[in-house]
Structure 1
Amino acid sequence: MEKARLYPMKKVDIIVSGERLPFVRDLLARVRVTGYTIVPNVSGMGHSGFYEGNLIFNETSSLVLLMTVVREEQVELILEGLTPLFERYSGIMYVSDVGVSRQDHFVHRATDSDPS
């Protein structure tokens, strides 16, 4: 049995309005991110004051938190892709060091629709 170990990676948290989520998802696909988690209806306190999430109108009118774990070289690509969005709209990206136990889950695999 192989000794358990953790592999160093980067956790990226992105908070944007729900209407900007398709842009972020497309960017992550282009950067070849293998997975992410989306938390809708986010509330919190920030630069603009308190924001209370609600779904009165629809999911695109609330804030969403998108969390992913990536290789270090992908972080800069994500930041470059998000910079134009952050220059025009509100949003933020946090990056932190993490260790993952199943590194193979974070490697892009070619599929029938992906010729690479």
Structure 2
Amino acid sequence: METTAKKRLEIVIESPMVDRLCRELDKLKVKGYTVMPAVSGRGRNSNWSRRGEISDTQRMYVLFAVLDESDLSPVLDKVYDLVSHQIGIVTISDVKVIRAEHF
């Protein structure tokens, strides 16, 4: 089976920034992404969990997208603009995909 090399962009971000991030990715013509709730984790200082939260404002979400390497730089510039003053983790990894036309 043939595979194609791509980049996986993964962003953990606070709820209030999710819609803005998605709008920016749409403007940059990112072909697709997935947003999922982050249920719990551990940060630099402590554990955290969604359990017992009353408001959505402190909830965390994970957005991931698969991109061509040539499309990554402008996306990272915009992502950095959004997360540089917020809670946010950004990772990039090498992946191989099948059905490359979807990305």
For residue 29 of structure 2, the aligned residue among 25, 28, 32 is 32
Q: In angstroms, what is the RMSD of aligned CA positions?
A: 1.7
Q: Normalized against structure 1, the TM-score is what?
A: 0.79
TM-score by length of 2: 0.88
Counterpart Cα distance in 2 of 1:102 and 1:62: 33
Which of the two has higher C-alpha Rg?
1
Q: Structure 1 vs Structure 2: percent identity of aligned residues?
A: 26
- Greater Cα offset, 83-92 or 93-102: 83-92
Unaligned runs of 5+ in 1: 107-116
Looking at both structures, which has the greater relative contact order when contacts are Cα pairs under 8 Å and sequence separation is at least 6?
2
Distance 2:65 2:91 in 1: 11
Q: Kindly provide the amino acid, as one letter, of the partner of residue 76 in structure 1.
A: S
Confirm whether residue 23 of structure 1 aligns to residue 7 of structure 2.
no
Number of matched residues? 103
Consecutive unaligned residues of structure 2, counting only runs of 5 or more, are none
Aligned to 1:10: 7
Which has more strand, going by share of residues?
Answer: 2
Tell me, in whole angstroms, the C-alpha distance in 2 between the residues paired with 1:77 and 1:35: 16
> Segments of 4+ in structure 1 off by > 4 A?
none
